[in-house]
Amino acid sequence: AQSVAQPEDQVNVAEGNPLTVKCTYSVSGNPYLFWYVQYPNRGLQFLLKYITGDNLVKGSYGFEAEFNKSQTSFHLKKPSALVSDSALYFCAVRDAYQGGKLIFGQGTELSVKP
Amino acid sequence: EPEVTQTPSHQVTQMGQEVILRCVPISNHLYFYWYRQILGQKVEFLVSFYNNEISEKSEIFDDQFSVERPDGSNFTLKIRSTKLEDSAMYFCASSGTSDIYNEQFFGPGTRLTVL
């Protein structure tokens, strides 16, 4: 069965510092990996995805993610955090068939302090 | 930019009552989903819908739940007889073509409170 783990419930970063939100996955077959962000009282917003190709994926709002097949990881990164990046971040893997559901990790709350 | 919309934003109901949560997916999308998120827990898949029928459903999606696309734009989730444990945020999502690589676009959610 496909699964995703986010080992940290919370990540605290100072504004201007780099941030990393960790995600590891377990899939049979090729992984289709996604990051979503959830701001308070809002829905999930798509940030970026890895399907194939370059291991470094760039997404919205200056975020990027590094796919590492040997470590089965897909960590979300940003070189310089903003206070407005504070939100709940979800990693997800998609079932590899048409219309496949997303399987989410438990989420990581990112807090960026001024 | 097109977006998924959901109504109502908050629904309060008594245990045992029926509720219908409504969603308007992005207009040219073909795949529709419902997910839920119990407070403090992860987002869980409920059901996927394609070509006017359920493609897949989770264990959560029992006989009390049903989905419908009554016209060309709305996608609804009905809970026939609500339980306390149905209290959650319910998200509708849609995705575009048959390309399996497409991301899903989520609505803002409906917070369901069952008393």
Closest Cα in chain A, distance from residue B81 (Å): 26
- Nearest CB to B43; choose among A45, A90, A99: A90
Q: Which residue has the tokens 């006989």?
A: B63
* Closest chain B residue to A109, measured at CA: B40
- Which of B35, B100, B105, B110 should one mutate to test binding to chain A, selecting the residue with the greatest count of A CBs within 10 A? B100
For residue B51, the chain A residue with the least C-alpha distance is: A99
CB A11 within 8 A of CB A1: no
Contacts of B58 in chain A (CB under 8 A): 101
Average pLDDT over chain A, rounded to an integer: 92
pLDDT digits 0-9 by tens, B46-100: 999 988 999 999 999 999 999 999 887 899 999 999 999 999 999 999 988 656 6
From chain A, pick out residues whose CB is under 8 angstroms from the CB of B106. Answer: 36, 43-46
How far is A53 from chain B, CA to nearest CA, in Å?
13
Residue A101 pLDDT exceeds 70: yes
Q: Count Cα atoms within 13 angstroms, Cβ side, for A47.
A: 28
Q: How far is B80 from chain A (nearest CA, A)?
A: 24
Question: Within 10 A of A95 (CB to CB), how many other CB atoms are there?
Answer: 19
Higher pLDDT: B58 or A41? It is: B58
DSSP A1: -
- In the stretch 38-77 of chain B, residues with CB closer than 8 A to chain A read 41-45, 48, 50, 55-56, 58
- Which residue from A95, A27, A92 is spatially nearest to B58, judged by alpha carbons? A95
B42–A105: do the CB atoms touch at under 8 Å? yes
Tell me: domain A3-97, CATH 3.50.50.60, correct?
no
Considering chain B, what is the average pLDDT of its residues? 92
How deeply is B7 buried, as exposed, middle or buried, from its count of CB atoms within 10 A (0-12, 13-18, 19+)? middle
Kindly state the percentage of chain A with pLDDT values over 90.
77
Paired sense of beta strands A44-50 and A33-38, if any: antiparallel
CATH number of B5-97: 2.60.40.10
> Domain limits of chain A?
3-97
A46 touches A22 (CB < 8 A)? no
For the residues B7-33, what does the mean pLDDT come to? 95
Percentage of chain B lying above the pLDDT 70 cut? 97
Contact A102 B91 (CB under 8 A): no
